[in-house]
Structure 1
Amino acid sequence: MSERNDRLSVFKTYKLYVGGKFPRSESGRVYEVTTRTSAAGTASRDKGKGSWLANAPLSSRKDARDAVVAARKAFGGWSGATAYNRGQILYRIAEMLEGRREQFVREVADAEGLSKSKAAAQVDAAIDRWVWYAGWTDKIAQVLGGANPVAGPYFNLSTPEPTGVVAVLAPQESSFLGLVSVIAPVIATGNTAVVIASENSPLPALSLGEVLATSDLPGGVVNILSGRTGEIAAPLAAHLDVNGIDLAGADAALAKELEIAAAENLKRVLRPGPLDLAADPGTHRMTAFLETKTVWHPTGALGTSGSSY
């Protein structure tokens, strides 16, 4: 007698990741996410094309403000952690991504219209890149900092410090490798992040939130929102408690609008540009959201106090 298979599929419920928790959008809104039908993975998804994958939360302005509050609350502890400890935590995240590799391969293949082998290559590159940034946490200060020659009996030392809360617009067409390429350098250097996932392909980003929640990363260091990029980015660019913004996922018109809003409190802005995901990432995304602190201190045994500028 043949065995009946009358089980109903259990569909995954995707939620936002804010402050270490998984809220739904406060508005209760969702939007449909469908498969990418273009084999190249570059054509825009037209309404009605592709098969349904999930309903993703449609974040509101209130969700964006909540994410900033969570990121600010986490900033003190994360920026105050030792660089070595941050590196250990990031490496642990890479281990966990490796353990869920097959899930991310499937999600990236659906999101970008790739074959399984090409999606696997994207996921492997993303995990490798996460490890690469984990290794930089305790080295970037040696590259950017150092002793400065001055004319006088003083030590003059410069050291990099994190900027603060950074809003990150993830690349639209690279749902996972591009995502990792903009998140990892921000948090590796001690900043906290509010991330807007790819509008059409948010599922790998929301799944990343599940990995972060079960890692040693403190809640609020990374906050992940999904929805309409322009709608969520506008309040973040104007938010006075956001210190920097990475416009990687913005088109030219949106980038100009956000730059104007960001000027209100002199945010650091990383303008959008070509993102060659196959190239060595270099250090420019880490240095984009670092400040340089310079300390003067008298030389000699009698020197007991210093000043910084």
Structure 2
Amino acid sequence: MSDNRLSVFKTYKLYVGGKFPRSESGRVYEVTDSKGNWLAHAPLSSRKDARDAVVAARKAFGGWAGATAYNRGQILYRVAEMLEGRRDQFVREVGEAEGLSKSKAAAVVDAAVDRWVWYAGWTDKIAQVVGGANPVAGPFFNLSTPEPTGVVTVVAPQESSFLGLVSVIAPVIATGNTAVVVASEKAPLPALSLGEVLATSDLPGGVVNILSGKAAEMGPHLAAHLDVNALDLTGADADLARELEIAAAGNLKRVLRPRAEEDFTAAPGTDRMTAFLETKTVWHPTGSLGASGSAY
């Protein structure tokens, strides 16, 4: 084979509605490694890209929320299988993004895949933890069950480009929500590659939408968008988080605030899943009164 073969550079694109558009503005920005060396050009998403992502997430919500929890778990597990198959690619991208040795980057990628499997296993179990039958005085069944909140905007962690990313996306979709993800501005490549994995998995298009660019530019529009139901501000700094939380108050969005020095290597727990769940309570008579019951 010829030694003069030209390298084929990868073109990174957004992942919106199951497709790979460039930013509608045509803008890009340089992504560099921890030493300042050029890695790629990433799309610089615009307000229009953010709106398109919300439309896609809303369109996908009904089908995803209506799927059985067992089915969601199987689909998430399939994503983990595909991540495992592209392990070497993610090891390279995470190592470059975070300045890690190959062995340390491999440990991060393995932890991220394990985390995805962990959340896949919770899809059909979280209802037993946060729901149940309530004791009431009277001839009624009173049952509380969790339901997804809706479309969740996620500001991904800035430093933990893959393990942190998985740790905020997986719990949102495991519980039936759909997501609009603003990737790490300085290290977006693992997130954009995750979009390629999701596109070729069984995950319906629009369940996860991944944007690269500036959270400070897109965040205010997403926080004020009336079709966004909740915000995860994990990757926002204090000033941006405050601005977005104020904007979110306009239609009473749920907000998960950033936590100081969050350790994504620690055991995750269930709090990220319960953060974006609503509780529906149904009353139903125990006798044969013919009533259909009512929900509140």
Q: TM-score range by the shorter chain?
A: over 0.9
Counterpart of 2:42 in structure 1 is 56
1:68–1:194 Cα contact (<8 Å) kept? yes
Aligned pair partner of 1:34 in 23, 32, 35: 32
AA matched with 2:178: T
Q: Does 1:280 align with 2:279?
A: no
Aligned pair partner of 1:206 in 192, 203, 225: 192
Uncovered stretches (5+) of structure 1, i.e. residues with no partner: 38-49
More off after superposition, 275-284 vs 64-73: 275-284
Counterpart of 1:43 in structure 2 is none
The alpha-carbon deviation at position 304 of structure 1 amounts to: 3.1
Counterpart of 2:134 in structure 1 is 148
AA matched with 2:44: L
Aligned pair partner of 2:5 in 7, 20, 43: 7
Aligned equivalents of 2:128, 2:111: Cα separation in 1: 26
Structure 2 counterparts to residues 1-309 of structure 1, below 5 A:
4-37=2-35, 50-274=36-260, 275-309=262-296
- Count of aligned residue pairs for this structure pair: 295
AA matched with 1:298: P
The alpha-carbon deviation at position 276 of structure 1 amounts to: 1.4
The alpha-carbon deviation at position 227 of structure 1 amounts to: 0.3
The alpha-carbon deviation at position 279 of structure 1 amounts to: 1.2
The alpha-carbon deviation at position 303 of structure 1 amounts to: 4.1
SS in 2 for 1:297: strand
Q: TM-score, normalised by structure 2?
A: 0.99
Aligned equivalents of 1:196, 1:164: Cα separation in 2: 17
4+ residue runs over 6 A deviation: none
Aligned equivalents of 1:202, 1:60: Cα separation in 2: 15
AA matched with 1:171: P
The alpha-carbon deviation at position 4 of structure 1 amounts to: 4.6
Task: List per-residue Cα deviations over 1:207-227 (Å, max 9, x = no partner).
Answer: 000000000000000000000
SS in 2 for 1:8: coil
The alpha-carbon deviation at position 302 of structure 1 amounts to: 2.4
1:171–1:178 Cα contact (<8 Å) kept? yes
Task: List per-residue Cα deviations over 1:28-87 (Å, max 9, x = no partner).
Answer: 0000001113xxxxxxxxxxxx11100000000000000000000000000000000000
Aligned equivalents of 1:198, 1:19: Cα separation in 2: 20
Aligned equivalents of 2:62, 2:264: Cα separation in 1: 31
TM-aligned CA distance change 1:149 to 1:112, over 3 Å: same
Uncovered stretches (5+) of structure 2, i.e. residues with no partner: none
SS in 2 for 1:220: coil
Aligned equivalents of 2:166, 2:236: Cα separation in 1: 17
Identical residues among aligned pairs (%):
84
SS in 1 for 2:116: helix
1:297–1:303 Cα contact (<8 Å) kept? no
1:29–1:58 Cα contact (<8 Å) kept? yes
1:126–1:180 Cα contact (<8 Å) kept? yes
More off after superposition, 296-305 vs 160-169: 296-305
Aligned equivalents of 1:171, 1:89: Cα separation in 2: 24
SS in 2 for 1:301: coil
Task: List per-residue Cα deviations over 1:124-149 (Å, max 9, x = no partner).
Answer: 00000000000000000010110001
1:29–1:57 Cα contact (<8 Å) kept? yes
SS in 2 for 1:206: helix
